[in-house]
Amino acid sequence: MLNDLLYLEEHLSCNHYVSDYRCHFRYHETGRDVRVEQKRLEYNQLVFLSAGQARVVCNESGERVFHGGEIALLPRHADVSAHIRHRSRLTVCTFDLVKNPCDKLFLESCEALSPSEEHPPAPVPIRPHMARFLDQLGYYLRNGINCEHLHEIKQKEMFLIFKWFYPKEELARLFRPMAGKSTGFKARILENYEKAGNVDALARQLGMSRSNFDVRFKEEFGLPPGQWMLKQKAAHILHAMAFPDTTFGDVIDRFGFSSPSQFTRFCRRQFGRTPTEILTGMRAEKPPFMKNENK
């Protein structure tokens, strides 16, 4: 269904938006008797089953038959296996972080209403307002719109619908695996790593020893802090260079390079190209070229 989306190639090669947060919606239509298994989920997943039926086994919540018209949460680090018994339509929201401070408070407030431990987390219904949201979102996704900016906006809208139209008791059941869990460490990293400038300063800012910080950081982000910070810096530099009125001098000043030659060495190490070669590729409407992270 790509008939309605104009300028598809421009959207697919767009590098004018960069995000430090992971949020992505996917739409699926499945056949009958489909089996799926995922070990140690890297991110939280909200599953909206619009139609069909699935038997889901999750080490966080046990075994349950999941019916069309229900929403379930598969929490980060869970082991999940599913047997989709009938033709199904589902939308999956994958996210690592709740960005909005109001949403963080909302999740923390669910702890007081969460059912006791002997009652596992439970799905909640897809209410009419959420169904309309999913219809519009599905239309976008089937047309190939995958802009990160749109996905973040839709995540905010999704949480607003939860807060506006769902009883708190239902949300406490749904979000129990996340209720009361502080997202403070990751949020503080994302808010402060650019200002800190280096790993030692960032660890001090969080009031942690360097050794404890390195361990906690690797658990949270999957990379050593220095490597992760370089990766973020590289992504933001590409983002800045994508704007036609940005000069090399602007980038050098903004990102703290001491000289043009230092900036050139950085680009060669991170992208395998000089700044001029990167800019030439962008002006030709080609996506930026990144070196293989394993090299």
Alpha helices (H) in 179-286, listed in sequence order: 184-196, 199-205, 210-221, 225-241, 248-254, 260-271, 275-283
8-174: CATH class: mainly beta
* Dist CA 285 CA 289 (whole Å): 12
Phi and psi (nearest 5°) for 64? -155, 145
If we measure between CA atoms, which residue out of 124, 109, 42 comes closest to residue 75? Answer: 42
Contact predicate 152/94, CB 8 Å:
no
Q: Look at strands 88-95 and 44-51 and give their pairing.
A: antiparallel
Lowest mean per-residue pLDDT among 156-170, 200-214, 271-285? 271-285
Angle at 103 between CA 99 and CA 107, to 5 degrees: 120
Task: Enter the pTM of the model.
Answer: 0.68
The confidence score (pLDDT) of residue 211 equals 93
The confidence score (pLDDT) of residue 203 equals 94
Q: pLDDT tens for residues 227-267?
A: 999 988 888 888 778 777 788 999 999 888 999 999 999 99
**In the chain, % of residues over pLDDT 90:** 38
Domains 8-174 and 184-283 share a fold: no
The confidence score (pLDDT) of residue 73 equals 92
Place of tokens 């190939």: 144
Residue 201 tokens read as 């300063």
**77: confidence class by pLDDT, cuts 50, 70, 90:** confident
* Dist CA 266 CA 259 (whole Å): 11
* Dist CA 238 CA 251 (whole Å): 10
Q: Which amino acid appears at position 140 of this protein?
A: Y
Domain ranges of the chain: 8-174, 184-283
CATH of 184-283, one of 3.20.20.10, 1.10.10.60, 3.40.50.2300, 3.40.605.10: 1.10.10.60
* Dist CA 205 CA 194 (whole Å): 12
Residue 136 tokens read as 């519009």
The 3-state DSSP composition of the chain as helix, strand, coil percent (nearest 5) reads 45, 20, 35
The confidence score (pLDDT) of residue 291 equals 39
